[in-house]
Amino acid sequence: MTTLTNLLDFDPAQLVAYCADLGEKPFRAKQLQRWIHQFGASEFDTMTDLAKSLRDKLATRAEIRAPAIISDHTSLDGTRKWLVDVGNGNAVETVFIPEENRGTLCISTQAGCAVNCRFCSTGKQGFNRNLTVAEIIGQLWMAEFELRRTKGTEPGPKGERQITNVVMMGMGEPLLNFEPTVTALKLMLDDNAYGLSRRRVTLSTSGVVPMMDKLSQEVPVALAVSLHASNDALRDGLIPLNKKYPLRELMAACRRYLAFAPRDFITFEYCMLDGVNDSDEHARELLALVNDPVVGVSCKFNLIPFNPFPESGLLRSKNPRIKSFAQVLIDGGLVTTIRKTRGDDIDAACGQLAGEVQDRTRVQERMEKMAEYQKKFGADFGRIVEIPS
């Protein structure tokens, strides 16, 4: 039996090469790419401006297949979360966060995560495998056209784009799945695909220094670094990767990255943990670190209230403590925001994404939880409903 080639696996240059192998000219690849990524087409028959001979070739050799959706829930605040099947009993989560002037999609790059940060529930699930290009870009493809269908927005460039920003902040460490992540990024930025600007695509890393340098040369999108500590001793305990790439090395890599970045600052993500990393002294240490004459870096801080889960043994900092910490940074001249927690009620908040679903038992649990919520909040909870204005 012929194995079909999944065209979601190809970046623009690879699709040109694939079409050349079929004896087709490069402009056919652009047409094909527009059908796939701008119209959400999954059937070659619908691609009306492609020659019938090419459609016939593709029908027997290729496919357009994104991961299947296991569940689709919407939070009270409009956050929408899909659990998608990546095979062998594994599932990853994709989260859409709607705001007044933008729609942000949070994409996963690995099933589980090998970094094992102490405050992240995904890391506690262990690492299963890297996702393929089709599984990474397939999340954007699936979400964009699901959202359009829900809203009744037409596919294609004339229809209003639902996803304006992408953050590679879902499950996994993107830089430990480098090539597939970079290929997916190239598709996000390509004008014949999603046409996003580099400023609107953010990759989040826990600090894989050599790969940060490599990314700056290949696809330097906006960068967010999971910092979460103001000194090495503290960060070693929270993020084991710090033992390999300590803070001064990480800062120097951030500084190098800025020469190629689309923004003139690095975003530092900082999870607020009660009594662990949230004192005014920690904030002052951060100021000294980012203002260091040798490795200091232009940055902004995004403080994230921790989403507690039992295995972590950690608690969320109290709101007055978070505000006091932020004030020290602000008084020190740093732009500082406190992230509003979104999607808490459907476990879609930062650090809560579930990892392996080896025997689907977690899916069962989720379905039970959903039934509970529907009892509590009404039958429409978790369904897309039009709210009358």
Q: Which of 19, 271, 299, 350 is catalytic?
A: 350
C-alpha–C-alpha distance, residues 47 and 51, integer Å: 9
Q: Considering 24, 93, 144, 269, which one is annotated as catalytic? A: 93
Q: Where do the DSSP E strands lie in 127-273?
A: 127-130, 165-168, 201-205, 222-226, 266-272
Type of residue found at 237: G
Answer yes or no: 146 catalytic: no
β-pairing, 91-99 with 80-85? Answer: antiparallel
Residue 204 labeled ligand binder: yes
Q: Residues 86, 135, 341, CA angle at the centre, nearest 5°?
A: 85
311 contacts: CB under 8 Å, gap ≥ 6 = 121, 124
Angle formed at CA 101 by CA 99 and CA 107, multiple of 5 degrees: 55
93 labelled catalytic: yes
Question: 298, 207, 282, 215: which is closest to 250 by C-alpha?
Answer: 207
C-beta separation of 78 from 154 below 8 A: no
Distance between CA atoms of residues 224 and 206, nearest Å: 9
Coil, strand or helix at 219: coil
Task: Give the DSSP H or E segment for 135.
Answer: helix 133-151
Residue 13 Rama label (left phi>0; alpha psi -120 to 50; beta): alpha
Q: Is 120 annotated as a binding residue?
A: yes
Phi first, then psi, for residue 154 (nearest 5°) are -70, 150
Single out the residue of 46, 44, 64, 47 nearest to residue 56, CA to CA.
44
N-terminal to C-terminal alpha carbon distance within the chain? 54
Is 227 annotated in a binding site? The answer is: yes
113 labeled binding residue: yes
Q: Which two tokens stand for residue 287?
A: 């100021």
Residue 106, annotated as binding a ligand: no
Annotated binding residue at 307?
yes
Q: Report the C-alpha gap between 286 and 280 in whole angstroms.
A: 10
Binding-site residue ranges for S-adenosyl-L-methionine? 172-173, 204, 226-228, 307
Catalytic residues: 93, 350
The binding site consists of: 113, 117, 120, 172-173, 204, 226-228, 307
